[in-house]
Chains A and B, each alone.
Chain A
Amino acid sequence: MHFVDLKKLKEILLTVEKPSRYLGGEFNTPDMTKKARAKFCFCFPDVYEIGMSNLGLQILYDIINSQSDFIAERCYAPWTDLGEKLKQNDIPLFSLETKTALSDFDVVGFSLQFELLYTNILYMLDLAKIPFRASDRGEEYPLIIAGGPCAVNPEPFKDFFDLIVIGEGEEVDLEILKLKAKAKEEGWTKSELLKKCAMLTGVYCPALHKEGEIVKKAIVADFENSPYPTSLLVPNINIVHDRAVMELYRGCASGCRFCQAGFYYRPIRERSAKRIASLAEKIIDSTGYEELSLCSLSTGDYSHLKELIGYLKKMSDEKHVDLSLPSLRLNSFEGDIVQNSRRSSLTFAPEAGTQRLRDVINKNITDADIDNIEMAFDAGYTSVKLYFMMGLPTETYADLDGIADICLRLKELFRKKERSRSLTLSVSCSVFVPKPCTPFQWAEQISIEEMLSRQRYLKEKLRRIKGVKFSWHGAETSCLEGAFARGDGSLCSVIETAYLKGCRFDSWSEHFNWEKWTEAFAENGVAVDKFAKAIDLGSPLPWDFIDTGVPKEYFKKEYLKAMEQKTTCNCREKCNGCGASKLGRCTIL
Chain B
Amino acid sequence: MILLKFNKTDNFCFISHIDTLRHFQRIFRRAGIDVRFSNGFNPHMLIYFSSPLPLGLTSFAEYVTVCTDMKAKDFLPLYNKNCPDGLKGIAAVDVEENPNLQFRVVAAKYDFFTPLEKKERYIANYVKKGESVTEDVTEKVFEVGEHTAILASGAVNLRPERFATACCGATITEIVKTKQYILNGDKLADVDEFYHLNENALS
Contact = CB atoms under 8 A, between A and B. Distances in A.
B115 interface: no
A382 to B, nearest CB: 16
B14 A290 contact: no
Given A14-B173, A27-B84, A20 B26 contact: no
B29 A289 contact: yes
B10 A25 contact: yes
A23 B14 contact: yes
Contacts of A10: 56, 173
Interface in A1-33: 7, 10-11, 13-14, 19-20, 23-27
Interface in B1-53: 10-12, 14-16, 18-19, 22-23, 25-31, 37, 41
Q: Which of B25, B29, B85 has the most CB of A within 10 A?
A: B29
B55 interface: yes
B30 A285 contact: yes
Contacts of A290: 25-26, 29
A278 interface: no
A237 B56 contact: no
A237 B56 CA distance: 15
B16 to A, nearest CB: 8
B125 interface: no
A203 B155 CA distance: 62
Nearest to B43: A320
Interface string A278-295: 000000111111100000
Interface residues of B, number: 29
A285 B16 CA distance: 25
A236 interface: yes
Interface in B101-156: none
Q: Which of A7, A14, A319 has the most CB of B within 10 A?
A: A14
B26 A234 contact: yes
B68 interface: no
A186 B72 CA distance: 56
B29 A319 contact: yes
Given A23-B14, A25-B84, A238 B19 contact: yes
Given A14-B171, A25-B85, A236-B11, A20 B19 contact: yes
- Counting contact residues on chain A (CB < 8 A from B), the size range is 20 to 34
Given A14-B172, A236-B19, A238-B22, A288 B27 contact: yes
Interface string B160-174: 000000000001110
Contacts of A26: 84
Interface in A195-252: 234, 236-238
Contacts of B26: 27, 234, 287-290
B15 A237 contact: yes
A20 B15 contact: yes
B171 A11 contact: yes
A20 B22 CA distance: 15
Contact of B11 (A25, A238, A289): A25
A20 to B, nearest CB: 5
B40 to A, nearest CB: 12
B178 interface: no
B55 A19 contact: yes
Given A236-B12, A237-B19, A288 B25 contact: yes
A52 to B, nearest CB: 13
A238 B31 CA distance: 21
Contacts of A14: 55-56, 171-173
Interface string A174-206: 000000000000000000000000000000000
A27 to B, nearest CB: 5
Contacts of B41: 342
A25 B12 contact: yes
A26 B23 CA distance: 10
B86 A25 contact: yes
B82 interface: yes
A236 B23 contact: yes
B84 A288 contact: no
Contacts of A284: 29
Nearest to B22: A238
Contacts of A24: 11
Contacts of B82: 288
Q: Which of A19, A284, A319 has the most CB of B within 10 A?
A: A19
Interface string A565-577: 0000000000000
A286 B27 CA distance: 10
A97 to B, nearest CB: 11
B56 A288 contact: no
Given A11-B171, A26-B84, A286 B30 contact: yes
A14 B56 CA distance: 7
Contacts of A27: 26, 30, 83-84
Contacts of A23: 11, 14
A11 B173 contact: yes
Contacts of B10: 25
Contacts of A288: 25-31, 82
B84 A287 contact: no
Question: Which 5 A/B pairs are nearest by Cβ-Cβ distance?
Answer: A288-B26, A288-B29, A288-B30, A23-B11, A25-B11
Interface of B: 10-12, 14-16, 18-19, 22-23, 25-31, 37, 41, 55-56, 82-86, 171-173
7 contacts: A23-B11, A236-B84, A237-B15, A238-B18, A288-B29, A288-B82, A342-B41
